[in-house]
Amino acid sequence: AVSAVGSALGAVRGLLRRSDAAELAAEAEHELTARGRLVLDRYAAPPPAHLELLARHVVARRASDDA
């Protein structure tokens, strides 16, 4: 773990010395945002199907009309 942290710090120092560091940071931010959207789209609960909602509404209306 210590060597991994050391390697990461070395990489960060190398990136800070680059002349295009701002562009690189903006690109990384864009990449993380895009990946975050993909993850949310993949693992977020999908909305209920439209026909399922209509069927539930009809069942509820019939139940209230019978009561």
Specify the pLDDT at position 21. 73
pTM metric for this prediction = 0.42
Annotate 3-52 with DSSP letters as a single string. Answer: HHHHHHHHHHHHHHHSTTHHHHHHHHHHHHHHHHHHHHHHHSPPPPPHHH
Distance between CA 48 and CA 55 in Å, rounded?
11
Whole-number pLDDT of residue 60: 95
The first and second tokens of residue 36, run together, are: 């975050």
pLDDT band with cut points at 50, 70 and 90 for residue 63: very high
Kindly state the average pLDDT of the residues 45-55.
88
Tell me: the pLDDT tens digits for 1-44?
678 787 887 887 777 776 777 788 889 899 999 999 988 888 88
Q: Which of 5, 6, 24 is CA-nearest to residue 15?
A: 24
